[in-house]
A and B are shown apart, each in its own frame.
Chain A
Amino acid sequence: DSGVTQTPKHLITATGQRVTLRCSPRSGDLSVYWYQQSLDQGLQFLIQYYNGEERAKGNILERFSAQQFPDLHSELNLSSLELGDSALYFCASSVEAAWGDSPLHFGNGTRLTVT
């Protein structure tokens, strides 16, 4: 168990809808990262938050947004969903803003299916 909690585990929704994915980092970790894993693909970095502030952006669509709350949990909001957004969405956390000396710890992911 990595200590990173993601909810829900599975989500099925229709095109055009909006969903929110939730992540609670490991106790003591200040940094949260979101990754997207499409079918048989590697993980694509979406966005990072550190102690409530956005730290880095990757290949995140404008339809997607995220935030990190004072209690350090994070939410990833996906709107105007398209079939191609179907994927496994991972949250990871680390102690520091720079993870070199504190490796990423991943949650079990949220499987999003858009129909």
Chain B
Amino acid sequence: AQTVTQSQPEMSVQEAETVTLSCTYDTSESNYYLFWYKQPPSRQMILVIRQEAYKQQNATENRFSVNFQKAAKSFSLKISDSQLGDTAMYFCAEGQGAQKLVFGQGTRLTINP
């Protein structure tokens, strides 16, 4: 069965610092997709970044980048130059591009001024 684990329930950093959120997953599939979603207080789920498992290169989107370690089944999110607007719940998710997208329990990130 698919499982996604986020071991950090809460994190807090100062504005402009770099922060890394951890995620590990377990799947028996050889090809799959990994995602980070952000859920601000507005509660909307916003796609931050995604990674296709067959691609070796780590995905990047502006200040957001991932460290994808396929053998270790690890998919961490790095936020550089953090901003107040980055304050949100962050969810890691994994799926095979078919139907069932499995989410972790989330990490509550607070950016302090």
Contacts and interface: CB of A to CB of B under 8 A. Distances in A.
The answer on A and B forming one complex is yes
Interface of A: 2, 33, 40-45, 48, 55-56, 58, 88, 90, 92, 97-101, 103-109
Interface residues on B, range: 20 to 34
B33 interface: yes
A48 B99 contact: yes
Contacts of B91: 42-43
Given A103-B47, A104-B47, A108-B44, A43 B103 contact: yes
A100 B96 CA distance: 7
B20 to A, nearest CB: 19
Contacts of B102: 45
B97 A109 contact: no
Contact of B106 (A33, A42, A88): A42
Contacts of B46: 2, 106
Interface in B37-55: 37, 42-47, 50, 52
23 contacts: A33-B99, A40-B105, A42-B4, A42-B104, A42-B105, A43-B101, A43-B103, A45-B99, A45-B100, A45-B102, A56-B100, A58-B99, A88-B43, A97-B98, A97-B99, A98-B97, A100-B52, A100-B96, A100-B98, A104-B101, A106-B37, A106-B45, A108-B44
Contacts of B93: 43
B84 to A, nearest CB: 21
A21 to B, nearest CB: 15
A109 B105 contact: no
A56 B99 contact: yes
B103 to A, nearest CB: 4
A92 B103 CA distance: 14
A18 B99 CA distance: 27
Contacts of B33: 100
Given A43-B91, A43-B103, A99-B97, 5 more contacts: A97-B99, A99-B101, A103-B47, A107-B44, A109-B43
